[in-house]
Structure 1
Amino acid sequence: MWDKEVDFLVVGSGAGAMTGAVTAHESGLDTLVIEKAECYGGTTALSGGVIWVPNNHRMSSAAINDSDEEAFTYLDAVVSEDVPRDKLRAYINQGPQMLEFLEKHSLVQYDPAPEYPDYYSEKAGGKLGARSLDPKPYTQRQLGAELSAQMRMPDYDYHKNFSMTADEAHQVFSFTWRSHVVIFKRLFSFWLDVRSRLNRLPDNRLTLGRALVGRLRKSLEQKDIPLWLNCPAQELVVENGRIVGVVAEKDGKSIRIGARSGVLLATGGFSNNDEWRSKYHKGESSSDWTAANEGDTGDGIRMASQINAKLGMMDYAWWTPTMRLPDGKVEAFIVGKTMPGSMVVNKRGERFCNEAEPYEDFVKSQYADHEKTGCSIPAYFVFDGRYRKEYPLGIALGPGKFVPDTAAKDLFDSGWIRKADTLEALAEACGIDPKGLCDTASKLEEFGKDGVDADFGKGSTPIDVYYSDHRIKPNPCLWGLVKPPFYAIELWPGDLGTKGGVMTDEYGRALDVAGQPIEGLYVTGNSSASVMGNSYPGAGATIGPAMTFSYVAALHASQAAPLASDLGDKDSTESGEKIANAS
């Protein structure tokens, strides 16, 4: 009946998938991971790799105190009401245990980001840092040549240059004395790796999402947990109302893989499925604008819906403004929009939001303005000569003092970036109302003098100024467009991934249309309806839940899961003790 049979089958190879595989293995389950692509890592490998875990055990090293109740108070205020509150409590309780478990049973290691605030830290229960954690760097040599070659890498080439952690990037993009220290240390380490430099190899150091998936993948290898690439799952196998395996394709042949204890779907969302984007998203939506990996087509959601799983939150996404490069590649635009000497406007030349606000809120504001005016898709990021000299435009274009305009002729010739000596001429080149643009720029210049954005409050919250130029006073996010020439690029309402999918309970079990668990089927990450609902509480609120609920799902599948009533009480859970004793 089965071509291959295991206890626990994981579909997908991002951080959530591999966390579930490690947990299942340590719980005594014979485990297999299958991935449809020719590389592993999913969208996690393209991400910052940060996880948001409140009340985690690493917070003490940052001298920041937290509690489950503070975390719940914060999430209860921030997360939309369509998320069951018992599921929020399960996440708050199990997230720290997941982190401690992985640090004990895998190569995964995290450092707290002590200055990375919750996105709404001013709300009750919010924290000014350390709930977001930064993966410790790893190296390609530690990972090994074969596994390094199989890892998903970004389309852009920055990994070929010296890499930085999320915390190092923050230091650099704060423009304080620490910026120079970090840059010097990283350059020194980069060039000290003589072997890589002589062979013209990419940076040996892995950071961000690649550090996380590299550590997880090496952990699988050390535990002899197989990961089959080029093995897409096609449908779930049901017997007597229970999921008992999947039909997949391997080496061009259809195979049946049995799963005695359960199947975990961790295949991502549907960012690259334009049919579904058109069906479920409320405004203009296109896969041309997403920063998710190209395999993010909704496979797991489709398979689950075919066996009567309940779907929810399908109109939600992890929104972020994106830049679409001339070759069609897409990059999330997160840091640049917060810097002084810039603004974002619609075709009327009007600002429509605080540009430094969290990226999900930015896109929601863009959609709201477009619904009202019809003028905000695309929006225009406008900046002056000082900005161009000092700051990068993501990975696409370095600061002008290092990469002059003449060295980026292809970007200018393509029209991706427009340049003019006056704002009026720039407006004409972009199709923006000239008077509106000039009036908005004049107003912004006045705001910059006293540091108060009277229209939208840019620079008024801790997350606004996290990435900002602290040389600029009194508001490090706010300065007029005063130095010609002037520049503009288009910004699209993109995403880091969709967040709608299969509805699940606090154990990560898929629910059917009647709200009852589907035995043997677990779903995590962007294949599931997000525990964060229509919000983004902090950096890492995507990957943190994906890893946590895959951990909980694997424990449940191994019969080591705590009782539902215990998910809110760390002292009464048995799962951590059972795993520890077993190993």
Structure 2
Amino acid sequence: MIASTWDEEYDTISVGSGIGGLSTAITAAERGAKALVIEKFELLGGVSALSSGQLWPGPNHLAKAAGIEDSVDKAKDYIDHLGQGHASPEIRDQYFARAQECIKYYDETIGIPLTVIKGLPDYYYPEVPGSAPEGRYLEVQPFPAAKLGEYQKKVLVSPYGAYYSYTTSTEWVEMQAGGPSLGACIQGHLAKDERCAGAGMAAAQVYEALKRGVDFRTSTEVVELVTEDSRVVGVVARDSQGTRRIRARLGVILATGGYDWNRRFVGSFDALPVAGSMALPTVTGDHIVLSSKLGVIPLPSRAPGQSPIFVGYKVPTEKIYGIGPAYRLLVPGQPHSIIVNATGSRFSNDSFYPDVVAKVSRFDGQEDGMVNWPAWIVFDQRMLNRKGMLPAPPGQPLPEGMAIKADSLAALAEQAGIDPKGLAATIERYNAMCDEGVDHDFKRGTNPWGALMAGDPKLKNPNMAPVSEGPFYAVKLERVTMGVPTAGLPIDGDGRVETAGGSVVPGLYAAGNSAAWADWGGGFNSGIAGMRGLLYGYRAALHMTAK
């Protein structure tokens, strides 16, 4: 649409209120700009408010101050291995230099209270060259939501339970070393409405944005980008009252997240004909639709099998955002459980979700099919008693229709459609290995990350205990998206969106999961999506407000 008259005028407009959109608005406002954030959902925070809130900048000044030594060269080796050639070396190098700069800016200038997650290793430590045992992960300190005043109820917390928004990664690590239980931590934070993880970051960002005069519009959808002489100069926004033309004198940033609820995009870009999602229902790929009219084509940054698309399960009786059935993320590796395919065989390190996800995606040319899909998590009553399976807490029955239950493994396999003889042989072998505490087949329990997330430190192997005491259960696994897609808008190091021909679209920027991962390429590693949102929102605001 071509510019004409305006209903309102701002310097910068953030389309989306996740970590990327808020980062742009805060940075721009700190530099004297008049900033507006437009959010399609009714609450602020975006998908990043539902996340673990971890940031992975690599080496950083906070880790150094804590006495943790690291080097950029080692960190580059690590992400080069994960990227498998998909990343741009130039943009990767910029990532490390600018991520350190960004973290320092938000710590010292903006005042977001960040802290090192001590004891939390890189995903693939120590197997992958350049991986580190700690220091590269940061998180926001618990944020007292009362500081937000009337906005206390306008910022997202997870609808999936207090577990997601009222515990820190630091507490997870400390619990494994004998610290307070997660239940005790949750109760303490809930009593004071201290938001943690992604919800804490969202609350802290909204607080800092309000201090700097940033304006917010919720339940408002951007339906068109306005251009003048090929430059993006504003947006058309629609709410319950109608449409308004809003000018952006310096630039517009698309930070709408991925495209989880757009079946066509998920099927095309992620190669998933069927998938559930835990993202907000407003995450429908608006950045792709809006920019397509300007000659922008979304680019995959990696093969779909390298994307952080999880395995989870369906909860038939649960509705989230009024939509049902709900889907839940599975954190594999709980003692007294295994993951098997239709032959009843284990096929992965089922205590480490990146390996599970990679192996369920395997396409076999000999059989011309997905040999490990469908898949099930099979477990006994002791897992439910000790760990539970959300939304059911430990010791509580599972929601109706969520699992198949039987008194014997043979009956369970028959009802689930798993080969009974194969399952019996697999569990016999697995249980024997539990006695030794060593998984000779798939190295279960050898990855520190998996042990921290789902293990029991009192066991010989934190992720291994036999499946032997009935009743027995099988839950069919589903592919579940979490807002981190395979494809995004191509950007340069300043977050400027590029056309299919490689030229920059003046006045248009992208950040977070709306932007292609040219700096990282493939590979799983928690904290990257959040860091990229913070970083490219910051870089875009610097570019917009440069004199």
Report the TM-score, using the length of structure 1 for normalisation: 0.86
- Residues 162-205 of structure 1 show CA distances to partners (whole Å, capped at 9, x for unaligned) of 93212213333x3x53245x655654x369x4xxxxxxxxx622
- Residues 109-165 of structure 1 show CA distances to partners (whole Å, capped at 9, x for unaligned) of 121111111112222211111211122111221222x31222223333436x99321
Letter in 1 for 2:100: P
2:392 to 397, 415, 418: 397
1:22 aligns with 2:26: yes
**Match of residue 309 from structure 1:** 296
Matched residues in 1 for 2:287 and 2:165: separation? 36
**Match of residue 309 from structure 2:** 319
**Match of residue 385 from structure 1:** 381
User: Is the Cα contact below 8 Å between 2:360 and 2:370 reproduced in 1?
Assistant: no
Q: Helix, strand or coil: the match of 2:449?
A: coil
Letter in 1 for 2:468: V
**Match of residue 44 from structure 2:** 40
Mapping of residues 278-427 of structure 1, within 5 Å: 278-286=267-275, 289-313=276-300, 316=304, 317-326=307-316, 327=318, 328-334=325-331, 337-357=332-352, 359-368=353-362, 374=370, 376-393=372-389, 395-400=390-395, 403=396, 405=397, 408=398, 411=399, 414-427=400-413
1:221 aligns with 2:222: no
Shift of 1:548: 0.5
Runs of 5+ in structure 1 lacking a partner? 194-202, 561-583
Change in Cα spacing, 1:533 to 1:500, as seen in structure 2 (3 Å) is farther
Matched residues in 1 for 2:263 and 2:456: separation? 38
Q: Helix, strand or coil: the match of 1:419?
A: strand
**Match of residue 170 from structure 1:** 173
**Match of residue 138 from structure 1:** 143
**Match of residue 255 from structure 2:** 266
Q: Helix, strand or coil: the match of 2:405?
A: strand
Matched residues in 1 for 2:178 and 2:13: separation? 50
Letter in 1 for 2:308: W
Change in Cα spacing, 1:121 to 1:532, as seen in structure 2 (3 Å) is farther
- Residues 194-223 of structure 1 show CA distances to partners (whole Å, capped at 9, x for unaligned) of xxxxxxxxx622111111100111111111
Matched residues in 1 for 2:509 and 2:300: separation? 18
User: Is the Cα contact below 8 Å between 2:232 and 2:508 reproduced in 1?
Assistant: yes
User: Is the Cα contact below 8 Å between 1:102 and 1:108 reproduced in 2?
Assistant: yes
**Match of residue 428 from structure 1:** 414
User: Is the Cα contact below 8 Å between 2:308 and 2:524 reproduced in 1?
Assistant: no
- Residues 266-286 of structure 1 show CA distances to partners (whole Å, capped at 9, x for unaligned) of 011101100212222324332
Matched residues in 2 for 1:170 and 1:461: separation? 14
Shift of 1:226: 0.2
Mapping of residues 497-512 of structure 1, within 5 Å: 497=483, 498-512=485-499
Q: Helix, strand or coil: the match of 1:178?
A: coil
Mapping of residues 16-165 of structure 1, within 5 Å: 16-122=20-126, 123-144=128-149, 146-158=150-162, 163-165=166-168
Shift of 1:420: 1.7
User: Is the Cα contact below 8 Å between 1:342 and 1:481 reproduced in 2?
Assistant: yes
Larger deviation, residues 486-495 vs 514-523: 486-495
2:463 to 477, 502, 505: 477
User: Is the Cα contact below 8 Å between 2:165 and 2:197 reproduced in 1?
Assistant: no
Shift of 1:257: 1.4
User: Is the Cα contact below 8 Å between 2:361 and 2:370 reproduced in 1?
Assistant: no
**Match of residue 523 from structure 1:** 510
**Match of residue 567 from structure 1:** none
Matched residues in 2 for 1:4 and 1:148: separation? 27
Q: Helix, strand or coil: the match of 1:550?
A: helix
Q: Which runs of 4+ in 1 moved over 6 A?
A: none
Shift of 1:62: 4.1
**Match of residue 479 from structure 2:** 493
Change in Cα spacing, 1:186 to 1:285, as seen in structure 2 (3 Å) is closer
Q: Helix, strand or coil: the match of 1:515?
A: coil
User: Is the Cα contact below 8 Å between 2:336 and 2:382 reproduced in 1?
Assistant: yes
2:529 to 542, 547, 564: 542
User: Is the Cα contact below 8 Å between 2:89 and 2:519 reproduced in 1?
Assistant: no
Count residues in correspondence. Answer: 528
User: Is the Cα contact below 8 Å between 1:392 and 1:398 reproduced in 2?
Assistant: yes
- Residues 532-573 of structure 1 show CA distances to partners (whole Å, capped at 9, x for unaligned) of 65534532111111110111111111126xxxxxxxxxxxxx
Shift of 1:485: 2.0
User: Is the Cα contact below 8 Å between 1:118 and 1:537 reproduced in 2?
Assistant: no
Q: Helix, strand or coil: the match of 2:528?
A: coil
Percent identical pairs in the alignment equals: 29
- Residues 83-110 of structure 1 show CA distances to partners (whole Å, capped at 9, x for unaligned) of 2111111111111221221123334212
Larger deviation, residues 366-375 vs 271-280: 366-375
Matched residues in 1 for 2:471 and 2:492: separation? 55
**Match of residue 450 from structure 1:** 436
Matched residues in 2 for 1:426 and 1:149: separation? 45
Shift of 1:236: 1.3
User: Is the Cα contact below 8 Å between 2:270 and 2:486 reproduced in 1?
Assistant: no
**Match of residue 500 from structure 2:** 513
Q: Helix, strand or coil: the match of 1:125?
A: coil
Matched residues in 2 for 1:190 and 1:268: separation? 28
Shift of 1:76: 1.6
Letter in 2 for 1:438: A
Matched residues in 2 for 1:360 and 1:519: separation? 38
Letter in 2 for 1:392: G
Larger deviation, residues 370-379 vs 59-68: 370-379
Q: Helix, strand or coil: the match of 2:227?
A: strand
Q: Helix, strand or coil: the match of 1:51?
A: coil
Matched residues in 2 for 1:349 and 1:16: separation? 43
Change in Cα spacing, 1:238 to 1:184, as seen in structure 2 (3 Å) is closer
Cα RMSD after superposing both structures:
2.2
User: Is the Cα contact below 8 Å between 1:499 and 1:526 reproduced in 2?
Assistant: no
Q: Helix, strand or coil: the match of 2:238?
A: strand
Q: Helix, strand or coil: the match of 2:198?
A: helix
**Match of residue 198 from structure 1:** none
User: Is the Cα contact below 8 Å between 1:310 and 1:515 reproduced in 2?
Assistant: no
Change in Cα spacing, 1:491 to 1:228, as seen in structure 2 (3 Å) is same
Shift of 1:511: 0.7
Shift of 1:80: 3.5
Letter in 1 for 2:72: D
Matched residues in 2 for 1:517 and 1:233: separation? 21
Change in Cα spacing, 1:89 to 1:164, as seen in structure 2 (3 Å) is same
Letter in 1 for 2:102: M
Matched residues in 2 for 1:263 and 1:157: separation? 34
- Residues 28-55 of structure 1 show CA distances to partners (whole Å, capped at 9, x for unaligned) of 2221111112111111111111111111
User: Is the Cα contact below 8 Å between 1:313 and 1:499 reproduced in 2?
Assistant: yes
Shift of 1:368: 0.9
Q: Helix, strand or coil: the match of 2:124?
A: coil
Matched residues in 1 for 2:17 and 2:201: separation? 12
**Match of residue 540 from structure 2:** 553
Shift of 1:466: 2.2
**Match of residue 321 from structure 2:** none
Letter in 1 for 2:173: H
Letter in 2 for 1:331: R
